[in-house]
Structure 1
Amino acid sequence: MPRFAANLSMMYTEVDFLDRFAAASADGFEGVEYLFPYAHEPAELRSRLDDHGLRQVLFNAPPGAWESGERGIAALPGREAELRSGIERALEYAAALGCGQVHVMAGLLPPDATTAERAAHRATYLTNLAWAAEQAAATEVDLLIEPINGRDMPGYFLHRQAEAHAIVQEVGAPNLKVQLDLYHCQIVEGDLTTTLRRDLPTGRVGHLQIAGVPDRHEPDQGELDVRHLFDVVDDLGFDGWIGCEYNPRAGTSEGLGWLKNYRGERA
């Protein structure tokens, strides 16, 4: 059966961040993910994980000036030194937290970017990812890249699954993989069952995420048949995690009926 991780940046916001580990554990989660760990010392986070029997599944490398609207820097020419420093910091946290995956965000392109400018961004992205993957390999960490829909994040460099897989193949590092968020994928291109059956067997997908479409609430709210999708993932033998990256409609725990029902059906 698929393994589910609570996204503590979006779930359990009823309590302070450090208290969300206990809340997730109490609801039966065994793994957690979140956007960024850097506001807290690694030892503090590790203590929360250990105290509640949780695994750190994923977090993001530093994304640039997030509060000012930046969404990653890996594809931004001229930011290479900052990218390298951020990767080094992320890998320090990954080692301390026992986390085997780090998402590296690409960044935003200007809406009027020319073909030549887009090519320059892509070249920068490939170079940065190759360097970062080499550093991460030394610590047995996988780096992930994620296509993100342009409605939620206008201008993001990477939108489609095929683009992400092409980049992974071009870089050629075995520890560079795709983060397949079924919410983003449904909005951009749909055809999720075919996408899963096509891409999971390649071994290039390191992590899955889920949310309801179109409102990003519980995954059983909206147009996705999540029971079917979970069964497809299970049938394909995917041994990674599914991150629950959604905004609960009301209380987080109160909205977990979809997960309890699925687990009960598969028990």
Structure 2
Amino acid sequence: MPRFAANLSMMYTEHDFPDRFAAASADGFDAVEYLFPYAHDAGELRQRLDGNGLRQVLFNAPPGARDSGERGTAALPGREAETRSGIDRALDYAAALGCPRVHVMAGLVRPDATPAELAAHRGTYLSNLAWAAERAAPAGVDILIEPINGRDMPGYFLNRQAEAHAVVRDVAATNLKVQLDLYHCQIVEGDLTATLRRDLPTGRVGHLQIAGVPDRHEPDGGELNVRHLFEVVDDLGFDGWIGCEYVPRAGTSEGLGWLNDYRGENA
């Protein structure tokens, strides 16, 4: 049966962030993910995890100047020192939180970038990811990359699953993996069942995420047949986590009928 992690950046926002851990635990979650931990002391976050019987399964490395619109720096030439310093900071938090996965964001590129400029972006990306994977390996941490749809994040460097898998193959580090967000994948290319059947058996997918399409609310609303997708994931023997990275329509707990029903059917 798939395992689900609550995304505390999007879910339980009716509570202050430190209180979201208890709320997720009360709803039966065993694990959490969120975007960034850096506004909080790692020791305090670890206490929230341990005190509520939760595991931290994912967070992002620092994304650059997020408040100014940046969405990562790993594919931006000239920002290597900042990228690598951020990865070191993320690995410090991962060690403190016992978190085995860190997502490294690529960054935004100009829509009129030339082929030569795009090649430079990719070269920088590969170099930074190889460095990050080597740095993370002794700690047992996987570095993840995620294709993101251009509607929600225009200009993001990585959009398609094939591009992400090509990057992983080119870097050739066993702890560099793809973060397959089914919401983003459906918007960009669809064909989710075939994508899961093609990519999960490769071992290159380190984490899944889910949300309803097109509005990013509960995953049972919109155009996805999530029961079918969960069955596919289960049949393929995926032993990782599915992050619930969606914005509840109303209260978070009130919108968990899809998960409670699924748990009941598979108890």
Which band: TM-score by shorter chain?
over 0.9
CA shift, 1:93, in A, is: 0.2
CA shift, 1:138, in A, is: 1.4
Deviations 1:106-129 (A, max 9, x none): 000011111110000000000000
Matched position secondary structure for 1:75 = coil
1:197 aligns with 2:166: no
CA shift, 1:67, in A, is: 0.6
Output the CA distance in 1 between the equivalents of 2:111 and 2:175: 31
**Alignment-derived partner of residue 160 in structure 2:** 160
User: Which blocks of at least 5 consecutive residues in structure 2 are unaligned?
Assistant: none
**Alignment-derived partner of residue 15 in structure 1:** 15
CA shift, 1:5, in A, is: 0.1
Output the CA distance in 1 between the equivalents of 2:123 and 2:111: 18
**Alignment-derived partner of residue 47 in structure 1:** 47
1:124 aligns with 2:124: yes
CA shift, 1:47, in A, is: 0.1
Deviations 1:163-199 (A, max 9, x none): 0000000000000000000000000000000000000
**Alignment-derived partner of residue 2 in structure 1:** 2
1:172 aligns with 2:200: no
Q: RMSD over aligned Cα, in angstroms?
A: 0.3
CA shift, 1:59, in A, is: 0.1
Deviations 1:67-118 (A, max 9, x none): 1000000000000000110010000000000000000000000111111100
Output the CA distance in 1 between the equivalents of 2:110 and 2:236: 39
**Alignment-derived partner of residue 100 in structure 1:** 100
**Alignment-derived partner of residue 147 in structure 1:** 147
- What does residue range 18-97 of structure 1 map to in structure 2 within 5 Å? 18-97=18-97
Query: Could you state the TM-score of these two structures normalised by the residue count of structure 2?
Result: 1.00
User: Which blocks of at least 5 consecutive residues in structure 1 are unaligned?
Assistant: none
Matched position secondary structure for 1:153 = coil
Output the CA distance in 2 between the equivalents of 1:8 and 1:111: 32
Q: Structure 1: which amino acid aligns with 2:148?
A: I
Output the CA distance in 2 between the equivalents of 1:251 and 1:36: 22
**Alignment-derived partner of residue 234 in structure 2:** 234
Q: How many residues align?
A: 267
Aligned sequence identity (%):
84
Output the CA distance in 2 between the equivalents of 1:227 and 1:25: 23
Output the CA distance in 1 between the equivalents of 2:266 and 2:40: 37
Output the CA distance in 1 between the equivalents of 2:227 and 2:11: 21
Output the CA distance in 1 between the equivalents of 2:66 and 2:5: 24
Q: Structure 1: which amino acid aligns with 2:216?
A: R
